[in-house]
Amino acid sequence: MRKNFWKKIPLKRLTKEEWEAICDGCGKCCLIKVQNDTQSIPFYTSLACQFLNTKNCKCKVYTFRDKKKRDCLILTPDNLEQVMKWLPNSCAYRLVKENKDLPSWHHLNSKDRNSVHRTGNSIQNLAINEMFVAEEDYENFIAES
């Protein structure tokens, strides 16, 4: 990967490896979101996609997630603009797109993939598997907007 690529190379010109490395591994985008007709911005819940390993915040079906989860948010340089509202404010893709610095705990700065968890910036061990909750009860698990 090129030195400081996220600071100086446009997203559409990144290699696949560089693009993937921008993800901080927080797991927040794998939380279930709810939205009604009057909201422009979705609410996050404390419920996680059934395919998320809530201990390490990794997707168990990453390479074929598009087939396993109908509404999985698969980010690409081309769709990032359109799906931004579904991403948490802390999402590294969002920060880079907005020309903001990545936080000190991001692995590209800390050189440690675990710093996102150690500093409490991931959902590690915090989310409940969506399969334990009926869909009509999701609103009871709204965590933040």
Residues found near ligand SF4 in the complex (CB under 6 A): 23-30, 49, 51-52, 59, 61, 65, 68-69, 72, 75, 87-88, 91-93
In the complex with ligand SF4, which residue's Cβ is closer, 47 or 87? Answer: 87
Nearest approach, Cβ of 138 to ligand SF4 (angstroms)? Answer: 15
Nearest approach, Cβ of 74 to ligand SF4 (angstroms)? Answer: 7
Structure tokens at 85: 């509202």
In the complex with ligand SF4, which residue's Cβ is closer, 38 or 78? Answer: 78
Decide: residue 97, CB within 10 A, 0-12 exposed, 13-18 middle, 19+ buried. middle
Nearest approach, Cβ of 105 to ligand SF4 (angstroms)? Answer: 12
Contact in structure between 31 and 69 (CB atoms under 8 Å): no
In the complex with ligand SF4, which residue's Cβ is closer, 65 or 142? Answer: 65
The CA-atom distances, in angstroms, between 116 and each of 65, 86, 122, 129 are: 23, 20, 6, 21
Nearest approach, Cβ of 140 to ligand SF4 (angstroms)? Answer: 20
Residue 58, H or E segment: strand 58-59
